[in-house]
Amino acid sequence: MLIALTATAVLGAGVGAGIWAFTRDDGTDPAGGAPATGVTVTNAPTAPASDTAPAPSAPAATPSATPSATPSVAPGYRHAQDPVGYAITVPQGWRRHQKQGESAPVVTYDSPDDGRQLQIFALVEESPAASLDLAENAPAYGFARQPGYRALTRDADGDAFSELTYRYDDEDRGPRQVIDHRFRAADGTLYAIRSSGPETLDGTLLRDPLTTAVDSFCPSGGPCA
């Protein structure tokens, strides 16, 4: 009976110490005790200050769990945590809309002034190049079939991104220019960001919002570039 009681006490102490060790987060060593005090020195000169018991050291700093601050943005822009699942910097005052595409939600930010747009959506193809080629040339819906279509510039960087700038004639809004940028995000997923607007606009008015959006793009819960 005495043996059984002793074993129970030891197990109980072990469980309690384990819980304390896992829940304590002040940076101290849960296995360490306070330094020894009350030591008497005999037949010796008066002890210098260094012979006294050392003061306990300050606890080691623990990594902060506070999320990093919102990144700084250029004037005229704002950083948005989009409910679809990513953070992105977009022009201030642009209105957000969302609709369900064939394979993913399509988020659109509309300028209230000059007809510009940003569209963001996830891709299902195996690479940015394959996705852009399909979007341009698919027999049923490729945008190369739009009235007045003409490819203007192309750019690519291996598996990192593929980009096409083109123009076409929109039935309702007239001549339009589009920069279609498809890329692999920091977590490995594929996305497209399309910047569009009237063909008469200066090209930087389309390029700047696209560059800002791509450079700031960060999937929720994953690494950022």
Domain ranges of the chain: 77-219
Which CATH superfamily includes the segment(s) 77-219?
Mog1/PsbP, alpha/beta/alpha sandwich (3.40.1000.10)
**pLDDT on residue 105:** 95
Residue 97 token pair: 């809309």
N-term to C-term CA, the chain: 64
Please tell me the pTM assigned to this model.
Answer: 0.68
Cα 212 from Cα 206, distance rounded (Å): 11
**pLDDT on residue 144:** 97
**pLDDT on residue 102:** 84
Residues of the chain with pLDDT under 70: 1-71, 222-223, 225
**pLDDT on residue 5:** 32
**pLDDT on residue 58:** 45
**pLDDT on residue 221:** 78
Q: Which run of H or E residues covers position 206?
A: helix 204-216
**pLDDT on residue 70:** 56
Residue 38 token pair: 């009350």
**pLDDT on residue 49:** 43
Within 10 A of 102 (CB to CB), how many other CB atoms are there?
8
* CA-based torsion, 209, 214, 219, 222: positive or negative: negative
Check residue 50 and report its DSSP letter. G
